[in-house]
Structure 1
């Protein structure tokens, strides 16, 4: 698979990837990709619930969460940990970029909570319906969002398969 070097996330359907690509395109003049370099993305691999990896020319690039970086034994320094902590408290999801085994950058993204979310959760609770959040977001971000809208039970850092399993478990508990 080969796509523009500027957008190794361009073919991803993940909302975070789409947000990063949209932001990158908006920052480029006339929304053009880099034309002075004919490097292509190869060996593109999705790591569900963690990020993506690929080769850009001779370089190995990883884009994803701390779990992905740790699975490749990429050291995460104090500055990056502080960046994560500060942003997670603000309900932002942090994404790391590593090139050839070293952290090269980090971005944080946020998806503002819909204004009516707290009202919907509150209404469900008045009907004795328990609300639960099952998310791939890190624990700090998930907890901040849940607190904001009134959800007490949070299952964070759950990969897509884990989300389906958790929902099945919760459905079984409700039926018992």
Structure 2
């Protein structure tokens, strides 16, 4: 369509109400310094790093890893295999930090949520926050994060259409 040309369309009242609410939210939300934000849920995720290069160190806990623990930790585990008895790695006589097969190193990074939720995007921060709150059991330390859709011409056009319909019909 060319600019200034009008078109009459018929939509349901519920669709019109949705478009108006969404348009209002798009116009009033904090865009976080981007013209066309889309909001996604991010999480703090442990990302394995080469041994000694990560900021964090953790004892391996897969079945059988205890065979590689230091002798002090093996003794503390006992036959009950009570992992709650173990000291933090490197403390109270624990030498697991010196045994490569007993620990791993990692950094904690803020990345898109994993487990099937990494592609979910929202037009408004409010919708993303509501989704996160109602589905919090899927996320470990989830946070709403803004990304930019400035290179997505289709999404930009749809956002503008929603704003235009919401503005005209208000």
- Interval containing the TM-score (normalised by the shorter chain): under 0.3
Q: TM-score, normalised by structure 2?
A: 0.20
Greater relative contact order, per chain length (Cα 8 Å cut-off, separation 6+) = 2
Q: TM-score, normalised by structure 1?
A: 0.20
Q: Larger radius of gyration, structure 1 or 2?
A: 2
